[in-house]
Amino acid sequence: KSAHALEQDRPDVLKRRRDWFDGQLDLDPAKLVFIDETGLSTKMARLRGRAPRGERCRAGVPHGHWKTTTFTGA
């Protein structure tokens, strides 16, 4: 099964998608710039784990003094 947004089937959305695509044909690929953004947090921790039957899965995770960093590259 491949799910997709129902909005993609609306006539107004189909027209906007077609118009956007038609506008891309005139672009010079040599002038394109791709920007990528990613992030990192020191508070990241796994939400699930495994343990022997009948035992609770316990794990230490960072708590409190955490930092978030965002990276952007072009």
Delimit the domains of the chain by residue range.
6-73
pLDDT-based confidence at residue 15 (cuts at 50, 70, 90): very high
Annotate 42-57 with b (16+ C-beta within 10 A) or e (fewer): eeeeeeeeeeeeeeee
pLDDT per position as a tens digit, 23-64: 998 889 899 898 888 887 777 778 888 999 999 999 887 776
> Structure pTM?
0.42
